[in-house]
Amino acid sequence: MEKTMTEDKNQVVGSEAMDGQRDKEHIREDLELSAQLGESDSWEDKLKTMVRQNKLAAFSAVILFLIFLAAVFAPVVAPYDHLAQSLTDRLQDPSAAHLLGTDELGRDVLSRIIYGARISLTIGLVPTLISMAIGTVLGLCAGFYGGKVDFIIMRLADVMLAFPSLLLAMVVMYTMGGGLINIFIALSLVNWAGTARIVRSQTLSLKEKEFVEAARSIGVKKWTIMFRHILPNCLPSLIVLFTLNIPSAILSEASLSFLGIGAQPPSASWGLMAVRGKKYLFSEPWLSIAPSAAIMIVVMAFNFLGDGLRDVLDPYLKEQ
Amino acid sequence: MLNKVLKRIVISIPVLIGVVLAIFIMLRIVPGDPVTTMMGEHVNPAVIEKISREMGLDQPMIVQFFKYVFNALRGDFGTSYRLNRNVTQIILDAFPNTVKLSLMAAAVAWLIGIVAGIVAAVRQNKLLDRMFMGCALMGVSMPVFMTALILQYVFAFKLKWFPVSGYDSWKAMVLPAIALGWNSAGSIARMTRSNLVEVMQNDFIRTARAKGLREKGVIIRHALKNAMLPVVTMMALQFSSMLSGAVLTESVFGVPGIGRLAVNGIETRDMPLLQGTVVFTTILIIIGNLIADLLYNVLDPRIREGA
């Protein structure tokens, strides 16, 4: 997705000068109009609109893409091995050799942050994807079948939503023990209820539409209607929701690791780095501030991107 | 109206039971015998069996569950494995600290959030608006522990305005309260702004302006009243989430609140303690959400009078 957006950005650079002359009121009106017309715009057009109108969202996409690259190519990008200890170099101030200094075991903080991006991005993307897949299937079933199925699924969702998500994750961590893999599982299982609610409400309105009735009348199977006809129409909301759910998963991992019940040493998890640096807060503040700032940047970028995507893809989601 | 309130209360009872059941089951699918986990591997099996019987862990799970619910209804959450004290008592000792922290945090969040939101809306798309909304987004995106650590470094260590940790004086609670309230302040500011901007486009605002009311009056008497409805609900929701979100702040500033208990429960594998804290907090949150919901009904005349 980042790739198409950077490509789009190149294409619209030329038209930007013209658009710059139109005042903001006009652009807003256009946006509202295109939101009303909704369906008629292609995905590409919508992303172009976002890049044009929401520079911050586009910029965030670029930043995230760069962080993603850094995470994938961490061994190449990182100046040092993130696990290599050097007790003679411990707790060094930031310098040319160590841009963000070294930690209490003499490990290069910048390298650890780069490797930590792997953990945060994986935790942000994969469990969110899994929990949203669960939520989507349950929401589709609840909305489409209605009746008892709907009742049971939605009461289950009510119970899940009643939990504060951090506490729920903590309970799961108690059961399964600490460690990144278990956070991975905990976050996959815990966060499906919000998605289920939104997909259900969209399914409820979509299943009354003519195209579903048409599909039904020619005898298309229920599952095919659900996944081929209704699901694609939920996609814009799901993409926005996905982008906005990623930061909360990243924050959950960081929080659990910060509390000492998540990632275990010597993992380069940002939350774990922050809590280990806390001991040296008053002498070497960057030890905990640098990884925390990394979390903030990634979370903020996803939030900006999510807001931007929501404005163009799904203006109605804001109401929910 | 009364009917509706009752109905809403009745609806939340199954959720309450569901939540307790869910916690109960989740904590009991732990691999291995809880008593063995607690006492260690090398304890005489006879001793383990005796303790299991004393704790009622040898009975079927459904019996245990009903016993637990029955005792919980009488305010008894069982006995902590490690501290050998009544869990209810432990929670009641820690709870005032969390409440104090959450109340102060809520005050911070509401004050900063609403004022910043109003200013931003009034100066829409001007520099001040951009600045405030930028800060609000940063507030929403910052991990709680980062806010806490920065506050601790700047205001406790560098400027020495506040103590580094502690919880006995109100001064010691200021930094934890700001740390905890910061996130909520961000979301409240964003919501206040967007609602106010939307309300300001209504016809009745134009009427109020046309009849010669000063802008201040228009905003305070006409716009704000309408814009604040959803914000009030959100504020109530934020408060209940603070009660549970306090765990990170408590751990940075060393406040012995409910959140610390839950973490202790996990670290020392003290199941009754963890179970008690989670059940207690979740019930509080469900009640908080219920109040938020009812508040919305009471405050919004369209809902109050209608249906």
The pLDDT assigned to A13 comes to 38
B213-264 pLDDT, tens digit per residue, is 888 888 888 888 888 888 887 887 788 778 777 888 998 888 899 988 998 8
Q: How far is CA B21 from CA A157, A159, A208, B26, in A?
A: 14, 10, 36, 8
Cα separation, B42 vs A304, in Å, equals: 55
Of A251, A282, A293, Cβ closest to residue B157: A282
DSSP state of B220: I
Give A26's pLDDT tier (boundaries 50, 70, 90): low
Cβ contact (<8 Å) for B145 and A292?
yes
* Option in B15, B142, B252 nearest A162 (CB): B15
- Assess contact for B193 and B117: CB atoms under 8 A: yes
A270 vs B36 pLDDT, higher one: A270
Q: What pLDDT was estimated at residue A126?
A: 94
What is the rounded average pLDDT of the residues B108-118? 91
Nearest by CB: B153 against A170, A171, A285: A285
Q: What residue has token string 């405050």?
A: B299
Residue of chain B with shortest Cα separation from A287: B149
Is there a contact between A259 and B278 if contact means CB atoms under 8 Å apart?
Answer: no
CA torsion angle B191 B193 B195 B196 (round to 10): 150
**Which of chain A's residues have a Cβ under 8 Å away from the Cβ of B29?**
175
Band of residue A21 on the pLDDT scale cut at 50, 70, 90? very low
Query: Is A16 a residue whose pLDDT tops 50?
Result: no
Residue type at B183 in one-letter notation: N
Q: What are A170-183's pLDDT values in tens digits?
A: 888 888 887 888 88
Comparing CB atoms, the residue among A160, A281, A300 nearest residue B141 is: A300
Inform me whether the pLDDT recorded for B32 exceeds 90: no
Q: What pLDDT does A100 receive?
A: 86
Start-end of H helices in chain A: 2-21, 24-37, 43-53, 55-72, 74-77, 109-145, 147-162, 165-176, 180-190, 193-206, 210-217, 222-224, 231-258, 270-277, 286-313
Q: Residue A67: which region, alpha, beta or left (left: phi > 0; alpha: psi -120 to 50)?
A: alpha
Give ipTM to 2 decimals: 0.84
CB contact under 8 A, B15 and A158: yes
A–B: how many Cβ contacts below 8 A?
Answer: 125
C-beta atoms of B143 and A299 within 8 A: yes
Residue of B nearest to A285 (CA): B153
In contact, A240 and A309? CB cutoff 8 Å = yes
Task: Give the closest-approach CA distance of B47 to chain A in angstroms.
Answer: 24
Q: How far apart are CA B95 and CA B284, in angstroms?
A: 11
Distance CA A156, CA B247 (A): 26
pLDDT level of residue A66 (50, 70, 90 thresholds): very high
| Residues of B in Cβ contact (< 8 Å) with A289 | 146, 149-150, 153
Non-local CB neighbours of B285 within 8 Å, separated by 6+ positions: A162, A164, B240, B241, B243, B244
Instruction: Find the mean pLDDT for residues B82-107.
Output: 89
- 3-class DSSP assignment, residue A5: helix
Instruction: Please indicate whether, in this complex, the C-beta atoms of A289 and B149 are within 8 angstroms of each other.
Output: yes
If you search the block for the tokens 């619209």, which residue do you land on? A12
B86: helix, strand or coil: strand
Quick: pLDDT tens for A119-155: 999 999 999 999 999 999 999 999 999 999 999 999 8
Token pair for B41: 């591997």
Per CB-CB distance under 8 Å, the chain B contacts of A169 are none
Which residue in the set A159, A251, A275 is minimally distant from B15, CB to CB?
A159
Q: What is each CA distance from A283 to A104, A316, B21, B157, B160, in whole angstroms? A: 12, 49, 47, 10, 15
Of A170, A292, A299, the CB nearest to B262: A170
Predicted confidence (pLDDT) at residue B139 exceeds the cutoff of 90: no
Question: Which residues of A are less than 8 Å from B145 in CB distance?
Answer: 254-255, 258, 271, 274-275, 292
Partner-chain residue, chosen from A162, A174, A296, that has the shortest CB–CB distance to B282: A162
- In angstroms, the CA B260 to CA B248 distance is 8
* Closest Cα in chain B, distance from residue A16 (Å): 21
Q: Which residue does chain B place closest to A154, by CA atoms?
A: B15
Mean pLDDT across A202-212: 90
- Structure tokens given for A124: 């942000």
Contacts of A163 in chain B (CB under 8 A): 19, 22, 282
Show which of residues 208-267 on chain A sit within 8 Å of chain B, judged by CB atoms.
247, 251, 254-255, 258-261
Residue B205's CB is within 10 A of a number of other CB atoms, namely 17
pLDDT at A128: 95
B106 vs B229, which has greater pLDDT?
A: B106
Q: Nearest Cβ partner of A296 from B15, B23, B142?
A: B142
User: DSSP E strands: which ranges in chain B?
Assistant: none
Phi then psi for residue A192, to 5 deg, are -90, -20
Contact present, B81 and B272 (Cβ < 8 Å) = yes
Q: Does the beta-carbon distance from B262 to A167 stay under 8 Å? A: yes
Tokens of B159: 């400027």
**Is the pLDDT assigned to residue A19 strictly greater than 50?**
no
Q: What torsion, rounded to 10 degrees, do the Cα atoms A152, A154, A158, A163 define?
A: 90
User: How many angstroms away from the CA of B249 is the closest CA of chain A?
Assistant: 10
**Nearest CA distance, A158 vs chain B (angstrom):** 7
Question: To probe the interface with A, which of B142, B145, B154 has the most A CB atoms within 10 Å?
Answer: B145
Residues of chain A contacting residue B271, judged by C-beta atoms under 8 Å apart = 174
Name chain B contacts of A152, Cβ cutoff 8 Å: none
Task: Please tell me the distance from the alpha carbon of residue A43 to that of residue A248, in angstroms, as a whole number.
Answer: 26
User: Measured between CB atoms, does A304 come within 8 Å of chain B?
Assistant: yes
More confidently predicted of A34 and A247: A247
Rounded CA separation B272/B276 (Å): 6
Please provide the average confidence, as pLDDT, over all residues in chain B. Answer: 84
Nearest Cα of chain B lies from the Cα of A277 at a distance, in angstroms, of 10
Q: Which of A169-178, B88-97, B263-272, B293-302 has the lowest mean pLDDT?
A: B293-302
Is the pLDDT reported for residue A28 higher than 60? Answer: no
Q: Which helix (H) or strand (E) element contains residue B48? A: helix B45-55
* 8 Å CB contact of A303 and B141: yes
Residues 143-202 of A with CB under 8 A from B: 155-156, 158-160, 162-164, 166-167, 170-175
Query: Which chain A residue has its CA at the smallest distance from B164's CA?
Result: A282
**Is pLDDT above 90 for A52?**
no
DSSP A282: T
How far apart are alpha carbons A11 and A112 in whole angstroms? 37
CA atoms within 13 A on the CB side of A36: 5
**Rounded-to-integer distance, Cα B289 and Cα B297, Å:** 13
Q: Which residues touch B233 (CB under 8 Å, ≥6 apart)?
A: B292, B293, B295, B296
pLDDT band at A257 (very low <50, low <70, confident <90, very high): very high
